[in-house]
Structure 1
Amino acid sequence: MSLESVKAHFQKWNRENDIMEFDSSSATVEEAAATIGVEPERIAKTLSFRGSDDLAVLVVAAGDAKIDNKKFRHFFGMKARMLSPEEVLEQTGHAIGGVCPFGLAHDLDVYLDVSLKRFHTVFPACGSRHSAIELNLDDLSTFSSAKDWIDVCKGWQNEEGESS
């Protein structure tokens, strides 16, 4: 059902046929990168956090980025608390391994992390453990209805703060 909700979401832009479906797993950053044949950092992973109300907050970040708790708290005004797999499924409509900011079960706030801005295109999942789509950053922002670009990650820059 989840992949179907994402396909329906992309029909608005006539892009449902751009969704790639695989025989092998794309559930983790490493598996997705190997399956697609790209660098792991170009996988756009969607992270689900407990929001200030009953709805989750989604952060889409580069595959090599990790949440920086201090930056997260500064931006959102709360501690970064990831949802359980059951909560992720209930909030997004997608199971872990296929979580994406498209075709969501609820109207959730989506933010894009600046770690993605190093790339012309990235590969987010499409609601299943065997799917992805290649999107440029403008399309990712549009199709996800992202509220804003934010800086809440670490681990993707070198010591001088330059992207790796």
Structure 2
Amino acid sequence: MSLERARQHLERFGLGDAIVVTERSSATVDLAAEALGVAPERIAKTLSFRAGEPDRAVLVVMAGDARVDNGAFRQAFGLKARMLAGDEVEQLTGHAPGGVCPFGNPESATVYLDTSLRRFESVFPACGSASSAIELTCDVLHEVTGGAPWVTVSRLPG
């Protein structure tokens, strides 16, 4: 159901048929990279955090090798970076853990794009299931997420 909601969202941009469904799980960055045959850092993981209001979530899409910078997160959102509990993820994002994506989300989830993605010509966000993804340029990702704001709330390895 979540995959279909993401597909319907992407169809509005002529991209519904571009979704790749893998035979193997792509629920983690490493599994997704292996299933898609790409470098892990090009996986656009969508992390779900508690928002300042009850029953709301902040979704941050960042590069697979990026980690949350707690200070930058606090500065950007005025909140401590606290991930949603497993049982809250689907309720607030519309997607189960492993398939959380920036497409077809309910109003309770606000999407942001992290600048760590801009290093790549294209990235691979999930599409609502633990075995789906789509390859998009950052410009197209920005467009299909409704012009999601760009933030810098990550730090890169090294």
C-alpha separation in 2, matches of 1:148 and 1:109: 10
* Shift of residue 108, structure 1, vs aligned partner: 2.4
For the 8 Å contact 1:73–1:79, the answer to whether it is kept is yes
Counterparts of residues 48-127 of structure 1 (less than 5 Å): 48-54=48-54, 55-127=56-128
Distance 1:4 1:80 in 2: 30
Q: Supply the distance in 2 between the matched residues of 1:10 and 1:111 (Cα, whole angstroms).
A: 17
State the 1:140 CA deviation.
Answer: 0.5
Greater Cα shift, 137-146 or 76-85:
137-146
Contact 2:114 2:151 in 1 (8 A): yes
In structure 2, the partner of 1:5 is 5
Amino acid at match of 1:99: V
Q: Structure 1 counterpart of 2:66, which letter?
A: A
Q: Report the CA distance between 1:142 and its aligned residue.
A: 1.1
Alignment match, 2:41: 41
Q: Does 1:144 align with 2:148?
A: no
Paired with 1:90 and 1:106, the residues of 2 have a C-alpha distance of 11
CA displacement, residues 63-122 of structure 1 (integer Å, 9 cap, x when unaligned): 000101011111111100110111110011111111101011335221111110100100
Q: Tell me, yes or no, if structure 1 residue 133 matches structure 2 residue 134.
A: yes
Which segments of 5 or more consecutive residues in structure 1 lack a partner in the other structure? 159-164
Q: TM-score, normalised by structure 1?
A: 0.92
**Whole-angstrom CA distance in 1 between matches of 2:79 and 2:106:** 24
Instruction: Look up the SS of the partner of 2:123 in the other structure.
Output: strand
Amino acid at match of 1:52: G
Paired-residue identity, %: 53
Q: How many residues align?
A: 157
Tell me how large the CA RMSD over aligned residues is.
1.1
Paired with 1:66 and 1:140, the residues of 2 have a C-alpha distance of 20
Distance 2:108 2:102 in 1: 10
TM-score normalised by length of structure 2: 0.95
Matched residue type, 1:81: R
Give yes or no for contact 1:109–1:146 (8 Å, CA) kept in 2.
no
